[in-house]
Amino acid sequence: MKVLLLLGLVAVALAELTSFEGEKVFRLKPTTDEHVTLIKDLALSMEVDFWSPESAEQVTIDIDVDIHIPASHTSMVYTILNQSDMEHEILIEDLQAQIEAQVESRTVTPRSHSYTKYNSWDKIQAWMSSVSAANSDLISRQVIGKTYEGRPMNVLQIGKKTGSPKPAIFLDCGIHAREWISTAFCQWFVNEAVTTYGSDSQMTSLLNQMDVYVLPVFNIDGYDYTWKSNRMWRKTRSSKSGTSCRGADPNRNFNAGWCTLGTSSNPCSDIYCGSKPESEIEVKNVADFIRKNKSIIKAYITVHSYSQLLLFPYSYSYQLAADHAELMHLAEAATSALTSLYGTQYTPGPGATTIYPAAGGSDDWAYDLGVKYSYTFELRDTGRYGFLLPESQIKPTCEETMLAVKYIATYVQKTL
């Protein structure tokens, strides 16, 4: 009976996975107002999943647009694009095949956590317990609240224990559910911290003088949903009365120019700003934690993908931040450190002018709260795989990103 029940549950789990068979990701290169209008009209006439930029509203001339098109509409999109004079190419021929290729062979201990594989939420949760227990001299774990679906949000406090509060850096990953390489980086960072403390002078000095608060997965409900149901899910999983559409974009839900530029008040949009600032419990939990500790938090780093950018405020305004010159100088130096390892090119700059305006972001909110060194990383790649970066790229991506994060952390340490 138990076996039958288990098989039934497995069948249900498999049946719930959304298939993307035959679906394609196109790259469009708009160079005229007509091209921009064409893309916006496409988005109105069918279900278009914007990969970059994040919505039709953000489409402008001379910025490449990556869109995921349902299989039922691909031939129509082909026809429309071929009739227009807009340059275009196919980045991903079959999205389902790419999804399956992203998670490589699981023959070697598939049940165990690995820093060079993508790990499900259950594995990450178990890993947080074990890594904290194994490194109790350096890591303490605290729950800062629960998600909409009731999962605990664990923050790992990493640093030499001194018995009194130390200046700190807050690092979060996985604010958007489908950006798996982001969550992989936070796990990598924790491992680097505990395994190189005592041997790497930079890390040792940092953790002696400062603490790093790491939130390995910000949007846990959404992340779990990308594993169990829809790999392309982005938002939280909250329910709203009056609509069957679930979730809001947590990175449009902070109280920083909330719901103005580059957002949507439509609950079905991928960039829905929520019913009010901090309507999403995950956002409120993080904001409450940072507010409570704002006297000690000296830097805020949030990790996303993709595009290879290092952004800083502002995204909700074209106005330059008061500390623009210093933030730009630090971003340029940090990206140089990153590039030094594998030659990966990053572009540093303020969000609104470097990519597109987007209000309600966590980095703008932290900066306005008084956390001067506030940065957003957009990790690899520039669109070849997009959100489906292969596991073979986890190690190099994390290694190079560590150099930039350590550069920022060391700089902040020196300013104390």
Which are the catalytic amino acids? 378
Is residue 224 within 8 Å of 170, Cβ to Cβ?
no
* Cα–Cα distance measured from residue 52 to residue 65, given in angstroms and rounded to the nearest whole number: 6
The CA dihedral of 410, 411, 414, 416, to the nearest 10 degrees, is: -100
Is residue 366 within 8 Å of 290, Cβ to Cβ?
yes
* Cα–Cα distance measured from residue 324 to residue 320, given in angstroms and rounded to the nearest whole number: 6
Residues 6+ apart with CB under 8 A from 322: none
| Residue spans of alpha helices (H) in 251-321 | 281-292
Residues 6+ apart with CB under 8 A from 300: 169, 170, 290, 362, 363, 366, 367, 371, 373, 374, 375
Helix or strand (DSSP H, E) at 76: helix 74-83
92: alpha, beta or left, given left = phi > 0 and alpha = psi -120 to 50?
A: beta
138: alpha, beta or left, given left = phi > 0 and alpha = psi -120 to 50?
A: alpha
Residue 384, judged by CB atoms within 10 A of its CB (0-12, 13-18, 19+), counts as middle
Residues 6+ apart with CB under 8 A from 382: 306, 307, 308
Is residue 320 within 8 Å of 277, Cβ to Cβ?
no
Longest dimension (CA), the chain: 68
